[in-house]
Every structure is written in C-alpha cells, then in structure tokens.
Structure 1
Amino acid sequence: MASQAVTLRPGRLEDVETIHAALLKLAIHIGARQDIKSTADDLRRYGFGENPTFSTLIAEVDREFAGLCLHFPIFSTWMGRPGVYVQDLYVENRFRGRRIGEKLLRRVARECRAAGGVYLRLSIHTDNEIAKAFYGRLGIGCSSHEQVQKIVGDAFFVFADSTEKK
C-alpha cells in the first residue's frame, strides 16, 4: 500500500458525530468508558455554537478520519503569556505509527505560538504508559511541581451553589 499523505484541518460542525465517536474510543482504550458523559449534542453546543469553548484539529488520510486533537486556549499568570491545553489526542488504531499524533500536536503548538503562546499543557491517564512514552519522546514531560485537582458532579454543584464558610 502506498503511503498516503496526512492532511490536517479544523474540525467542522459536520464532524461532531465522528469526534464524539473518537472520544468514546479513547475512553475505551484507557478503560474509562463509564466516565464519558458527553454527547454529540454537547460537542455541537460548546464547540460549534455561538461561543465555542474548544477547537478541534482533524487528521485525515485520503479523506478518511485518522485522528483528532481537541484543545482550547489557556493563560499562565506566572509567565504572563497564553498557551494551549490539549484535552484529547486520539489516533485511530489502523493509522498509528504514522506520526499523526505528533503532527496534530505540532500543528496546535504552531497555531498557539503564532497567537503569542509559549506553552502547551495536557494531562494523561495515570495508567497510560504508552502515552507517557509517546509524550516523553516528543519532549513533553511530567511537571514535577504541579498536581491536577478537580471537583465534579454533585460535589461541584454543591460547592458552586453554597456560600462561603465563615
């Protein structure tokens, strides 16, 4: 089989079902299918609605979906500069080994840099050794001075809706 070129393009509204399917496959891959609560409608609303909160970059091989990078802008008050947060990076199994994930990340980094950004941040599932090795090969290392904290679901709603404790 001849080596087909990889093309990258911004995600479009008509890609929503494919994007959501890829996110489900990613969750299954890391053993977290039960944690996916989003729907294609959520992606339509928050990624392609009036005020998009994220962007996607789609990789294709011969017009066939090969992968995606879902990302959004962030800002470092310590550096005083913008950056980009990669929420999800996914490559279809049959296209792995073709540096598609790297191409997606480098393109997102270039776009961030062109907008004045100076860093890329992401997090990975703690048990995903393949991802750790992949990012390590690209020079994207684990931060030794930060730990991700979060509050979700009912606990988040209670926190958001409650008043400050005295």
Structure 2
Amino acid sequence: MTRTVTIRPATPADAAAIHAAILAMGEHLGLAHKIDSTPADLARHGLAPGRAFEGLIAEIGGEFAGMCLFFRSFSTWRGCPGIYIQDLYVEPRFRGERVGERLVRRAAAQARDRGAGYLRLAVDADNFAAQGFYERLGIAHYEADRIHAAYGEAFEALASGGKDDQGTT
C-alpha cells in the first residue's frame, strides 16, 4: 500500500530533522565522523534569504519521511541553468513508497519551471543501491566526468597561497 506523500519546501524549522538525516546518511556510509555541520549551519546557509541551497521535505502522515537538498548551477557548455542535488535521504521505514523518486522528480520539475535544463548529482562510489536507483530514474553515470575537490586545509592553502604573474591575488 502506497500512502500519501506530501512534499513541501524546507524551512528553518526543518534544520534539526535535515541534520539528523545527514547524520543517518553518514552512518550508513561509515562516514559520520566526517560530518562537521550543525543544524544552525543548515538554517543559516541554506534555509534563509540568499541561501546557498534549498530543500524539499517529504512527509507521510505528518511525519518526516525524507528530504532532498539542492542548489542552482549553470552549464557554460549547455548555456542554461540547472540544479545539483547534494543530498537525498528517505527514512528507512518509508523506503519502498517512492518517496525518493517523488523528491527527485519534484526538484527537477521545480528547476525546469525556473528555466533549468539539467540535473547533476554525485553518488558515493560504494553506494550501489543509490546508483541503481538513479539509473532507474534515467540519471546516467558519465564516465567522462570526475569530481575534484579541495576541502579544509587544501582549500585554505588554495585560497590563500595563489598569486598571479603581476603579484596580485
């Protein structure tokens, strides 16, 4: 039996539930020790005016069932805006009820209505269930793309150490 899933925009009041979901994802992947964010970080940066990201909350019977966090992006090659899904989570007791699919489809539709023409995301290399889920939705893995990142000390060194030919930063 599929129950009614309600999807709504995330608000600052959802910060604790969103953070709990992020911690649960980290636990599932064995990476919870790498999570430094707090509910206050999420409320300040993502659920406030001028936000760095936005989210959708899924509820079943008034209970938190899942969430999808995403942000706007732009492809200079495609010449159009898009979205990048940062996190997608469904509470274990609600899995199998198409909550994740509905969240991804709603995020894509919302982005399309704002003029977006694509959706991107990254999946943990060992998370085969998520990879299969996204492929079933038609979100393909592209061998040609690789994600590169600078975090923590590497980011700080990059940001504070570079000078161009004229000695300016």
TM-score (structure 2 length as normaliser):
0.94
Matched residue type, 2:38: T
Deviation readout 1:78-101 (Å, 9 max, x if unpaired)? 000000000000000000001110
| Structure 2: distance between partners of 1:123 and 1:163 | 28
- Correspondence list, 1:122-161, <5 A: 122-161=121-160
Aligned counterpart, 2:34: 35
Query: Where does the alignment leave 5 or more consecutive residues of structure 2 unmatched?
Result: none
Matched residue type, 2:149: K
| Structure 1: distance between partners of 2:125 and 2:89 | 17
> Is 1:104 matched up with 2:74?
no
| Percentage of pairs with the same residue | 45
| Structure 2: distance between partners of 1:130 and 1:96 | 12
SS in 2 for 1:125: coil
| Structure 2: distance between partners of 1:159 and 1:106 | 36
Aligned counterpart, 1:71: 70
SS in 2 for 1:73: strand
SS in 2 for 1:110: helix
Task: Using the TM superposition, give the Cα deviation of residue 30 of structure 1 relative to its aligned residue in structure 2, in angstroms.
Answer: 1.3
Matched residue type, 1:91: V
Aligned counterpart, 2:44: 45
Task: Using the TM superposition, give the Cα deviation of residue 48 of structure 1 relative to its aligned residue in structure 2, in angstroms.
Answer: 2.3
| Structure 2: distance between partners of 1:154 and 1:126 | 24
Task: Using the TM superposition, give the Cα deviation of residue 54 of structure 1 relative to its aligned residue in structure 2, in angstroms.
Answer: 0.5
TM-score (structure 1 length as normaliser):
0.96
- Correspondence list, 1:80-99, <5 A: 80-99=79-98
| Structure 1: distance between partners of 2:48 and 2:117 | 28
Q: Which moved more, 1:115-124 or 1:137-146?
A: 137-146
Aligned counterpart, 1:62: 61
Task: Using the TM superposition, give the Cα deviation of residue 50 of structure 1 relative to its aligned residue in structure 2, in angstroms.
Answer: 3.5
Aligned counterpart, 1:164: 163
Task: Using the TM superposition, give the Cα deviation of residue 4 of structure 1 relative to its aligned residue in structure 2, in angstroms.
Answer: 2.5
| Structure 2: distance between partners of 1:125 and 1:21 | 19
Aligned counterpart, 2:6: 7
SS in 2 for 1:142: coil
SS in 2 for 1:131: helix
Aligned counterpart, 1:24: 23
Deviation readout 1:42-74 (Å, 9 max, x if unpaired)? 101101234211001000001100000000100
RMSD: 1.2
Task: Using the TM superposition, give the Cα deviation of residue 163 of structure 1 relative to its aligned residue in structure 2, in angstroms.
Answer: 2.6
Query: Where does the alignment leave 5 or more consecutive residues of structure 1 unmatched?
Result: none
